[in-house]
């Protein structure tokens, strides 16, 4: 293929989770004959890496595509939505091309296509290529697996990302080595259900972590969400390692036993609480996911959940009001909680976590911070507990690792002057 004199400009719009951030970077890495722009107005082609986790996420993506259509852009539709809405958007000529997860590594040749295309691909694929750089980022995302074997009643993800399958260990290690040679010190392991890593390849997430921690230049390893039932002995063996972040995000989704059954979850309140207390006693800051307002969440269930929730030493919360996702079991259940009540329940949880997080930070231990960016008058980044810090300094601190002993704890974050 001969190289065009002026390369067409491509803008990537990423919706959704960290796995999508990784997938976008993978596509960028595969583009040889196009220029990536961060200004969508000047782009010739807009690649939409979509999220389809709720009906709301779908509408956000659709609105964005409509805007691009109005602006006369050539739109390529990628990501999880390719499986659920790719055909429909393609047939309605809202998008020029559709590329499913397994096709993203072929993006360079697909973007040359003069004919509209729809390559949804298969759900058994694992990326062959690796991401060796993240432009303008201080941390690197590493996708260690794809797919999920759970069947939570509200979730569409297994239908769009397929069954759980682990990335080859050597490939992951090679990628981390390359990125650390390129100056990255913080690595964030991502995937659809990372706790299932190794179940199909006769290893475990714990064993992988030990190997990553031994690589020169790896200063900190963070992880996406893990299921409580996946925290096994091999994982626990890593808990005292200095390179493991002192923050774990463990997805509870609810703290009422009956609700967890309705949601078809595999975790249970009693064991969850034991696990959280054990991790808390080791000094970890703990985060969780929580869905409020799922069908069946009666007042009685909610009061029990709230009482249980207060017993958990949780400092970080990713909670949201249940939003119906067509094609899931929950979508066929009668919605019993109105939006207003769900929001007020959400606020109750958020208020508890704000207090817990503030109290946790007031312990004032020494912080190890990776500064990510400059925002207004401050440099900002996260410490080992995944708390944000704002730093005043005359020096340029972006992408630097710093240790901070002296700082002020405020409601919205920690503050320090260097
Ligand atoms: S564990 Fe449950 S919520 Fe998470 S991706 Fe799998 S099915 Fe969805």
Q: Looking at residue 210, what is its pLDDT?
A: 97
DSSP run (H or E) holding 249: strand 247-249
Q: Is the CB of 155 under 6 A from ligand 1?
A: yes
The predicted-structure confidence for 284-341, as pLDDT tens digits, reads as follows 999 999 999 999 999 999 999 999 999 999 999 999 999 988 899 999 999 889 999 9
| Residues 77/62, Cβ–Cβ less than 8 Å | no
Q: Decide whether any atom of ligand 1 lies within 6 Å of the 263 Cβ.
A: no
Read off the pLDDT band of 132 (50, 70, 90).
confident
Residue 120 pLDDT greater than 80, yes or no: yes
| Mean pLDDT, the chain, whole residue set | 93
Instruction: Give the whole-angstrom CA distance, residue 279 versus residue 238.
Output: 12
CB 192 near ligand 1, within 6 Å: yes
Instruction: Kindly tell me if the per-residue pLDDT of 206 is higher than 90.
Output: yes
**pLDDT value of residue 3:** 52
Gap between the Cα atoms of 63 and 67, Å rounded: 6
Distances (CA, A) of 240 to 215, 222, 361, 374: 17, 14, 20, 32
What is residue 123's predicted lDDT score, i.e. its pLDDT?
Answer: 82
Q: DSSP string spanning 95-138? A: -SEEE-GGGGGGHHHHHT-SS-EEE---SS---SS-----TT-S
Q: Tell me how far the alpha carbon of residue 124 lies from the centroid of ligand 1, in angstroms.
A: 17
pLDDT at 164 exceeding the cut of 90: yes
Does the beta carbon of 150 lie inside 6 Å of ligand 1? yes
Q: Is 194 in the pocket of ligand 1 (CB under 6 A)?
A: no
Assign 75 a pLDDT band (cuts: 50, 70, 90).
very high
pLDDT at 5: 66
CA angle at 310 for the pair 309 and 312, rounded to the nearest 5°: 70
The residue whose CA is least distant from atom 4 of ligand 1 is 193
**DSSP letters spanning 159-196:** HHH-S-EEPPHHHHHHHHHHHHHTT--EEEEE-SSGGG
Decide whether any atom of ligand 1 lies within 6 Å of the 193 Cβ.
Answer: yes
SS3 222: strand
- Does ligand 1 have an atom closer than 6 angstroms to the CB of 152? yes
Calculate how far, in angstroms, residue 193's C-alpha sits from the geometric centre of ligand 1.
Answer: 7
Report the residue among 20, 147, 152, 230 best suited for mutation to probe ligand 1: largest number of ligand atoms under 8 A from its CB.
152
pLDDT over 70 (residue 4): no
Query: Confidence band (pLDDT; 50, 70, 90) for 69?
Result: very high
What percent of the chain has pLDDT above 70?
99
pLDDT tier at 53, thresholds 50, 70, 90: confident
Tell me if 230 CB under 6 Å of ligand 1.
no
- Does this model's pTM top 0.85? My answer is yes
Q: Which domains does the chain have, with CATH numbers?
A: 9-119 (3.40.50.12160), 127-224+238-245 (3.30.750.210), 251-361 (3.30.750.200), 367-417 (no CATH)
Q: What pLDDT, on a 0 to 100 scale, did the predictor assign at position 315?
A: 98
> What whole-number distance in Å separates Cα of residue 90 and Cα of residue 268?
43
* Range name among 13-17, 64-68, 350-354 with the lowest pLDDT average: 13-17
Average pLDDT over residues 338-350: 97
Cα 382 to ligand 1 centroid, rounded to whole Å: 27
Residue with tokens 């360079």: 108
Atom of ligand 1 nearest to the CA of 265: 2
More confident residue, 17 or 99: 99
Token output for 114: 């003069």
| Rounded-to-integer distance, Cα 228 and Cα 222, Å | 16
For ligand 1, atom 2: residue with the closest CA? 152
pLDDT confidence bin for 396, thresholds 50/70/90:
very high
142 lines ligand 1 (CB under 6 A): no
Q: What is the pLDDT of residues 264-276, one digit of tens each?
A: 999 999 999 999 9
Using the structure block, give the residue that is written with the tokens 């208020």. 351
DSSP assignment letter at 391: E
Q: Are 400 and 371 in contact (CB under 8 A)?
A: yes
For the chain, helix (H) and strand (E) counts, in that order, are: 12, 20
Per-residue confidence (pLDDT) for residue 354, from 0 to 100: 97
For 22, which DSSP code?
A: H
pLDDT reading at 144 higher than 80: yes
User: Do residues 148 and 126 lie in contact, with contact meaning Cβ atoms separated by under 8 Å?
Assistant: no
Distance, in Å, from the CA atom of 159 to the CA atom of 375, rounded to the nearest integer, reads 39
Interacting residues of 108 by C-beta distance below 8 A, sequence separation 6+ = 30, 31, 32, 33, 34
């Amino acid at each position: 293929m001969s190289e065009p004199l002026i390369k067409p400009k491509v803008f990537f719009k990423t919706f959704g989770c960290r796995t999508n951030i990784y997938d976008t970077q993978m596509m960028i890495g595969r583009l040889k004959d196009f220029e990536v722009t961060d200004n969508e107005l000047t782009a010739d082609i807009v690649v939409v890496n979509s999220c389809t986790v709720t009906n709301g996420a779908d509408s956000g993506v659709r609105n964005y595509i409509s805007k691009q259509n109005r602006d006369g852009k050539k739109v390529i539709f990628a990501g999880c939505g390719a499986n659920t809405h790719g055909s429909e958007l393609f047939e309605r000529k809202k998008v020029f091309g559709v590329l499913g997860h397994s096709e993203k590594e072929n993006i360079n040749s697909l973007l040359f296509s003069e004919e509209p295309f729809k390559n949804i691909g298969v759900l058994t694929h694992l990326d062959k290529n690796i991401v060796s750089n993240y432009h303008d980022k201080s941390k690197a995302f590493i996708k260690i697996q794809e797919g999920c074997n759970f069947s939570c009643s509200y979730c569409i993800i297994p239908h769009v990302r397929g069954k759980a399958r682990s990335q080859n260990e050597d490939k992951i290690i090679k990628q981390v080595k390359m990125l650390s040679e390129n100056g990255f010190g913080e690595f964030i392991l991502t995937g659809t259900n990372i706790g299932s890593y190794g179940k199909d390849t006769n290893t475990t997430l714990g064993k992988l972590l030990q190997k990553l921690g031994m690589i020169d230049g790896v200063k900190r390893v963070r992880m996406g969400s893990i299921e409580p039932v996946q925290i096994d002995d091999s994982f626990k063996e890593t808990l005292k390692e200095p390179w493991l972040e002192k923050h774990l995000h463990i997805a509870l989704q609810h703290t009422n036993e009956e609700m967890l059954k309705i949601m078809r979850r595999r975790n249970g309140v009693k064991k969850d609480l034991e696990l959280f207390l054990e991790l808390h006693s080791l000094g970890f800051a703990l985060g969780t996911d929580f869905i409020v307002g799922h069908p069946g969440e009666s007042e009685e269930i909610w009061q029990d959940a709230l009482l249980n929730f207060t017993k958990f030493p949780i400092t970080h919360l990713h909670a949201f009001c249940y939003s119906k996702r067509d094609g899931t079991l929950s979508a066929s259940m009668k919605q019993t909680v109105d939006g207003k009540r769900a929001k007020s329940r959400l606020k109750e949880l958020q208020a508890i976590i704000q207090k817990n997080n503030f109290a946790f930070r007031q312990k004032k231990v020494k912080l190890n911070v990776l500064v990510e960016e400059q925002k207004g008058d401050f440099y900002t980044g996260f410490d080992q507990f995944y708390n944000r810090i704002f730093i005043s300094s005359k020096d340029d601190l972006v992408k630097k690792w710093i240790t901070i002993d002296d700082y002020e704890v405020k409601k919205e974050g920690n503050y320090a002057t260097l």
